[in-house]
């Protein structure tokens, strides 16, 4: 679809659509309607986040998990930054000025991850640190039947995680994990007007302590998946979980994977708040790793753009759906060139494409005139000398 028209997105011509990320961010800032924060354009960053970066190795094309004592052989292997890098890369590819505070080992994996994030993906690592003698965490992901299983190697970080952020930067938003209390740097940013987005990981004890929900008092937007939401709220359906969480946090989104997402924005001024749902993008998934993080990046962008709730959900689903067509959650995240080319493959019917027409004015003109997606994806192998 061309700007101002309904139908398929515009067909771009040739160039690397992810080498110039400025226009998308500049477009957001020119509009000056960042959701509830008119002064955000003058801030140093659009989003700031901390967390652990992993070296992800993703095996694809598997019929299932190998039974004990057996071996499976596949020709699908990707390597990419993982962990908090999934969402950092996804945000940067949408043109958001993204700052990351994280620890990197001084081994070959750490060197690869640092270079990939700072040089290839334009993630600002001024708040990151290389830690001598510490091994970079590694996760092996086995993708099969549109799902995955993972094995992770990690050693304790030899310094407090909060030590990475002595003084937080000025940012319109920040992203935290509420598996632990919201850190003081995020509370400081919130007092300064930043929106706090939060997610959480799988509880390995499966006790699903409701203490976690008490931390939502310091959160503006919460983005759990359906299993986590139901477990923590002790509810039987995603819809019941959504209602329960909406009593604790202004904006809550429950991600349902191939079933799409549902959300409530209680800030609408109506007694019941604004409710919305959006279906998942109807595409064939190669690897779902990190799709939830890519979804979150799209929702952050839509929030900063001031979109209505249903548009935020649709755009987040669009980003997540495009990402699962590639290996890995970080290097599979779409940039504006891929978003502009969405629909050219004929994967989805025109009536579905029309539902995303609101995105067109936000596609930078350089992407409308550039080429189809040519961004670097996860390497098929870990080549000698790649670090």
All structural domains of the chain with their residue ranges: 22-45+88-102+164-368
Alpha-carbon gap, residue 375 to 17, rounded angstroms: 7
Q: Give 277's pLDDT tier (boundaries 50, 70, 90).
A: very high
Position 30 scores a pLDDT of 36
Express each pLDDT in 195-251 by its tens digit.
Answer: 999 998 777 778 888 888 999 999 999 999 999 999 999 999 999 999 999 999 999
> CB–CB of 174/194 below 8 Å?
yes
* Residue of higher predicted confidence among 60 and 30: 60
Position 355 scores a pLDDT of 87
Express each pLDDT in 137-164 by its tens digit.
Answer: 999 988 787 677 889 999 998 887 667 8
Position 330 scores a pLDDT of 65
Contacts of 65 (CB under 8 A, 6+ apart): 142, 144, 149
How long a stretch of residues is the chain? 387
- Taking alpha carbons only, the member of 127, 129, 132 closest to residue 106 is 132
List, in sequence order, every beta strand (DSSP E) within the chain. 45-50, 53-60, 76-83, 98-101, 103-105, 129-131, 138-144, 147-153, 171-177, 195-199, 221-222, 251-255, 261-265, 274-278
Alpha-carbon gap, residue 227 to 82, rounded angstroms: 22
Per DSSP, the three-state class of 138 is strand
Decide: pTM greater than 0.85: no
- Taking alpha carbons only, the member of 233, 147, 185 closest to residue 45 is 185
The class (CATH top level) of 22-45+88-102+164-368 is alpha beta
* Residue of higher predicted confidence among 34 and 233: 233
Express each pLDDT in 7-20 by its tens digit.
Answer: 333 332 223 334 44
**Phi and psi dihedrals of 338, rounded to 5?**
-70, -35
Contacts of 247 (CB under 8 A, 6+ apart): none
Q: Once rounded to an integer, what is the mean pLDDT over residues 298-319? A: 94
Position 230 scores a pLDDT of 94
pLDDT tops 90 at residue 351:
no
Position 34 scores a pLDDT of 40
């Amino acid at each position: 679809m061309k700007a101002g028209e309904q139908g398929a997105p515009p067909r771009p011509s040739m160039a690397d659509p992810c080498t110039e990320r400025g226009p998308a961010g500049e477009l957001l800032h020119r509009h000056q309607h960042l959701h509830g924060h008119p002064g955000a354009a003058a801030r140093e960053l659009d989003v700031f986040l901390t967390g652990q970066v992993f070296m992800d190795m993703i095996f694809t094309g598997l019929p299932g998990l190998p039974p004990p004592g057996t071996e499976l052989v596949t020709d699908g292997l990707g390597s990419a930054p993982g962990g908090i890098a999934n969402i950092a890369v996804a945000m940067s590819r949408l043109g958001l000025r993204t700052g990351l505070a994280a620890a990197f080992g001084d081994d070959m994996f750490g060197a690869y991850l640092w270079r990939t994030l700072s040089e290839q993906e334009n993630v600002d690592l001024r708040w990151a640190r290389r830690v001598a003698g510490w091994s970079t965490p590694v996760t092996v992901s086995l993708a099969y039947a549109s799902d995955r299983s993972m094995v992770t190697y990690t050693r304790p970080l030899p310094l407090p995680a909060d030590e990475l952020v002595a003084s937080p930067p000025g940012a319109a938003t920040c992203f935290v994990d509420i598996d632990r209390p919201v850190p003081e740097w995020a509370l400081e940013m919130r007092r300064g007007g930043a929106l706090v987005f939060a997610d959480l990981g799988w509880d390995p004890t499966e006790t699903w302590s409701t203490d976690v929900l008490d931390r939502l008092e310091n959160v503006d937007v919460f983005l759990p998946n359906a299993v986590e939401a139901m477990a923590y709220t002790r509810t039987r359906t995603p819809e019941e979980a959504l209602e329960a969480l909406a009593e604790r946090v202004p904006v809550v989104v429950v991600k349902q994977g191939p079933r799409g997402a549902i959300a409530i924005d209680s800030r609408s001024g109506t007694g019941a708040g604004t409710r919305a749902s959006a279906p998942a993008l109807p595409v064939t998934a190669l690897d779902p790793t990190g799709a939830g993080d890519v979804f979150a990046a799209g929702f952050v962008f839509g929030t900063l753009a001031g979109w209505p709730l249903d548009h935020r959900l649709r755009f987040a689903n669009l980003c997540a759906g495009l990402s699962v067509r590639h290996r890995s959650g970080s290097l599979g995240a779409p940039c504006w060139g891929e978003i502009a080319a969405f629909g050219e493959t004929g994967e989805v019917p025109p009536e579905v494409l029309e539902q995303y027409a609101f995105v067109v004015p936000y596609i930078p003109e350089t992407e409308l005139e550039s080429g189809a997606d040519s961004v670097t994806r996860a390497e098929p192998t870990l080549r000698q000398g790649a670090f």
